[in-house]
A and B are shown apart, each in its own frame.
Chain A
Amino acid sequence: GAGVSQSPRYKVAKRGQDVALRCDPISGHVSLFWYQQALGQGPEFLTYFQNEAQLDKSGLPSDRFFAERPEGSVSTLKIQRTQQEDSAVYLCASSPRGGATLEKLFFGSGTQLSVL
């Protein structure tokens, strides 16, 4: 596809369950970002990859959150032992070159996670 694809679109998890969220960036895009967005709020930075290297994971809220991009394309955000406060929309974005400061970020439609 031409855009950033995220799956699943919606995920309902029971508290304590592990979840995995997938992001397919635009082909050839070097940078990949994960953001967390609460309803009606701005996205909060989670982590950033340049190719397969995770350059910044300072936004991950706890060690229950883990992200990977092993071959420099598809990325997975994993949340272990989910808690109710993890409920949010998780957005993935990619950009053609390194970083986002001067680049256009292309966002996916997000995965809406609800933890019951």
Chain B
Amino acid sequence: TQLLEQSPQFLSIQEGENLTVYCNSSSVFSSLQWYRQEPGEGPVLLVTVVTGGEVKKLKRLTFQFGDARKDSSLHITAAQPGDTGLYLCAGGFLRGTSYGKLTFGQGTILTVHP
């Protein structure tokens, strides 16, 4: 059973379009992180959100943490070919058996065509 469900799994769009990636769970997380990974490289952290309802912006990327801290979204405005990659959400806990480690979703493969 996947603790974190990402949707969609694949996204193929044209340059200039907007898109949203979703990350959902039945668990309440202490934190939610978003990473971007390019082929042959390790994931690179984009943002960490910790407060329910929190919104963070990183240039054309907007990240939101759900009020109940069970879900998150990543919105990209005016996508560019350089945004192409695998986008991963990862949840963390501050207590319990999952303390200390991050649990990743299965990822969203984004392709932006020029």
Contacts and interface: CB of A to CB of B under 8 A. Distances in A.
- Chain B associates with chain A: yes
Interface of A: 4, 31, 33, 35, 40-45, 48, 50, 55-56, 58-59, 91, 93, 98-102, 104-105, 107-110
Contacts of B30: 101-102
Interface in B79-106: 86, 88, 90, 92-94, 97, 99-106
B42 A100 contact: no
A55 B4 CA distance: 23
B44 A107 contact: yes
B42 A48 contact: no
Contacts of A4: 42
The binding surface of chain A is classed by DSSP as loop
B104 A100 contact: no
B104 A44 contact: yes
Given A42-B88, A101-B94, A102-B31, A108 B102 contact: no
B100 A101 contact: yes
A44 B41 CA distance: 16
Interface string B8-52: 000000000000000000000011010000001111110010100
B41 A109 contact: yes
Contact of B99 (A33, A43, A101, A110): A101
A31 B99 CA distance: 13
B80 to A, nearest CB: 22
B40 A45 contact: no
